[in-house]
Amino acid sequence: MQMQVFIYCYILSCMSVAFGQITWHKLSTSEYYIQTGSTVNHQTAVDSCALLNAKLARIKTTQVQQFLVNIITGTTQYLYIGLTRINLDKTGFQWNDGTNVTSGETQWIVGEPNNYLDRNEYCVEMRGDYGYNYRWNDVPCNSHRNYICERHKDITVNGSSVQFVYSSKSHTVLDVVYRMCLSIAPYKVEASARMLDESLPHRFNVIPIDIRSYLFIARLERIDLNSGWSTSEINIFWIAYFNTPVEIN
């Protein structure tokens, strides 16, 4: 157990050194982190954003491009974004959300992308030197660059349900159905519970242990007394957290 705690603390310490003081810049429903420390290859950039519950930035509008340029200017010259090559056509690039760059706004440097000298330029950077003003350029994915992470601000959905619950022990496991259709599963759920008859002394902790798109499975623990309880109406309150848009039906 002590070894596990040591390893956990060590990982947190390494993350702190790697990321330092993180500042997220907000635009609409997205937040952006500009990494300006040690440069890394593309896969390490992807993995580093994932540790922050984020992805390499998608720049689909001139508004987003200019917003980022204003932040980046004067910090670093080359930054990976979330665009990669899927074929050798000029429009053969895809964002990391699965959408292709086939039309609409793009920010390529004049003459790019060119897969220069057939060097397998399958990744994309924003390039700030030579007056390019952070327009896009294709580069080999083993090139060392800084990067931009993007995440969506949390979207929350909440609800409650009353259940008849019995337990012979101080805890039990139950399914909590959202009573609404969510298009994706939340990445986190927080929940609480109390007796419908609030005059009763029963107090509970609710610990979600398995989160799905239509319900979560929770451990219900009585904390006022180490005992079970007779069949009772218990009100379960929950808040579901999403970092991408969710449809609710």
Give the pLDDT of residue 104: 66
The two structure tokens encoding residue 227: 């005992």
The DSSP bridge pattern shows strands 78-85 and 145-152 to be: parallel
Q: How far apart are CA 9 and CA 94, in angstroms?
A: 37
Using DSSP, state whether 171 is helix, strand or coil: strand
User: Which of left, alpha, beta for 76 (phi over 0: left; psi -120 to 50: alpha)?
Assistant: beta
User: What does pLDDT average to over the chain?
Assistant: 89
Query: When comparing pLDDT for 50 and 29, which is higher?
Result: 50
- pLDDT value of position 103: 62
Residues 192, 213 contacting (CB under 8 angstroms): no
At the topology level, CATH places domain 155-242 in Immunoglobulin-like (2.60.40)
Q: Give per-residue pLDDT as tens, 165-196.
A: 999 999 999 999 999 999 999 989 999 999 99
Long-range CB pairs of 135-141, under 8 A, 24+ apart, other chains included: 135/107, 135/108, 135/109, 136/81, 136/83, 136/106, 136/107, 136/108, 136/109, 136/112, 137/108, 137/109, 137/112, 137/113, 138/85, 138/112, 138/113, 138/114, 139/78, 141/41, 141/42, 141/43, 141/84
- Checking if the pLDDT of 235 tops 50, the result is yes
Q: Which of 19-23, 65-69, 81-85, 105-109 has the lowest mean pLDDT?
A: 19-23
DSSP 3-state of 43: helix
| Domain range summary for the chain, segments of one domain joined by + | 2-152, 155-242
Q: Of 1.10.3720.10, 3.30.70.1450, 3.40.50.970, 3.10.100.10, which CATH number belongs to 2-152?
A: 3.10.100.10
Q: Does 2-152 match 155-242 in CATH topology?
A: no
Mean pLDDT of 5-12: 39
